[in-house]
Structure 1
Amino acid sequence: MNLSFALFVVVGFVAVVLLIEGLYVYWSDTKSPEVRRVEQRLRAISAGGHTDRDDFKLLKQRMLSDSPAMQKLLLRLPRVQQLDRLMQQAGDSNTVSHLLAVSAILGLGGFLVSLVMRWPWYTSLGVALVLALLPLFLLVRRRNKRLHQIEAQLPDAMDLISRALRAGHAFPSALAMVGSEAPDPIASEFRITSDEIGFGVSVDNALNNMATRIPSPDMGYFVMAVIIQRETGGNLGELLGKLAELVRDRFKLFAKVRVLAAEGKLSAYILTGLPFCVAALINIMNPEYLSVLFTDPAGLNVVYGALVMMAVGIFVMWRIIDIKV
């Protein structure tokens, strides 16, 4: 075998090995599950918003986009921080730019399909608007479901902290125990708070950040009780035990109220959707029957009056079934 050819083979083999090793190191440093988990925790930590001047340097700003140019553009939009916090409360690990991109793609796709179907321009705009807002509606639904789960798990978490304090553990250690032993999604929130304290953020600010991420009255009671106890002193374990019992009874009462109000909600849904369903069926079976409502001025006045009365009825029924506990 020629010496130069053998040397070429050896050098080529070493180059391929180094290339594979470099690609693996790049992937492990930027795209591995551990790195993504750390980035997600850091982004969640920086979403609270309660930091002192000394704490601010410990936390990086929560990124709205992976692109620096898009980050600067999004920061100029109004209420973009509220949208980012909504995604955080829903447990969504994506960025705001990803959500806006999905909404834009759905809206544009719906508009193009409507044009291909030769629908009227106002119908095309309506379809595009509905599809563009669909990710936001799903996000709000996920957020409400997640907050409801956290509220249901909070009494057990407070009981766990109370037992840990009575056993002699420090309060930060008790928070870490909830993050490691409690079920998700409340465990992830307590892990974020425990990480904040571990990074050097004060306990009060870390708890306030958790209350900001979880806009629940029960979580506010928990944070307020801990902060007041740290300033005035007292038996925090006993206090949290009684607070857990109070929150659990409140949650049971709220569940009973929801059951009692279910009949009113069902009636509201039926009475609201029935006229539109009946009108759609009549229009399909006999289109000329309802045409007078949209062509005659008197018919238009009847339609407008019916819509106004329906709006008033919906508002009244909503206020009746919206029972505060």
Structure 2
Amino acid sequence: MEILAFGVQADEKPLIERAFHGHHEVRCVEVFLNADTAPIAHGYEIVSTSVNADLGPRVLQTLAVGGTQLIAQRSTGFNNIDLDVAERLGLTIARVSSYSPYSVAEFAWTLAMAVNRRIVRASTRTRDFDFRLDGLMGRDLHGRTVGVLGTGKIGECFARIAHGFGMRLLGWDIAENPACLDLGMTYVPKERLLAEADLVSLHVPLMEQTRHLIDADALAGMKDDAILVNSSRGGLIDTAALVTELRAGRFTGVGLDVYEAEAGLFFLDKSLEPIEDDTLARLVTFPNVLVTSHQAYYTRDAVGQIIDTTVGNVLDYLAGRRSDNVLVPRV
């Protein structure tokens, strides 16, 4: 059987082909799954998709009509999938329920340190042989307060690194993580966390209850010189409200690996095209903002685990087995 994998990056292709070798053939395409590209999947029983795939009603209908029965998404998040429609169409949906939490936690800290110590500005200057220190002053994080919104596996890893820096730990989640409590974390209401934290990092899934978790009111409640990092999902932050605060001169730095309207932009080369997204265009002009293209998970370790789990999901489906990775079971 040949499997069709959408949205495969150049670095991923040999890993995917190697993982499926000896099991099934796999056709890797760079294009992302959306309404325009869905017809490519005609005749493929199994399709694998990337995190930014459009799996709304129209795309799911096209896949079902074309004979697709299993969609194996290579990500943990599944806010891009209309699960109710998939179930109604008889499609099986599987995801990667977990992978290396260190990849995302370490990258979140990379963003935090980069904006705190003005690394991008410093690198740009030195390339022009400008070695002045004006505007590059950061601050020690030791002894300051970090607020971790979401203390699951990734949030816990982030907190462990913060503990290593010697920071005071505040947490917010629907349930307390014993490992974080052992680190000395104090769980507090979100409003208190935002008011006291010098660094705020987001590690919660995107769902209806968490969309715009950081809205205008939340931003207004943060310290003027705080650092805000989001390596989870773009929809957690009201970006328009964030731009308003940045225009007012607030925040030491903002590090974003995700953006709420990233679909159709991230993972693609748009360098020769006009950017029609005015909010993103404005966001990247701020000198204290660093935006990266959803790469926090992108380590050989994490991607390897994601691919291995995806192969396992395919083999389980073909063998009639069901695992915790299945979001919509086989009928």
* TM-score bucket of the superposed structures, by smaller chain: under 0.3
* Structure that is richer in strand per residue: 2
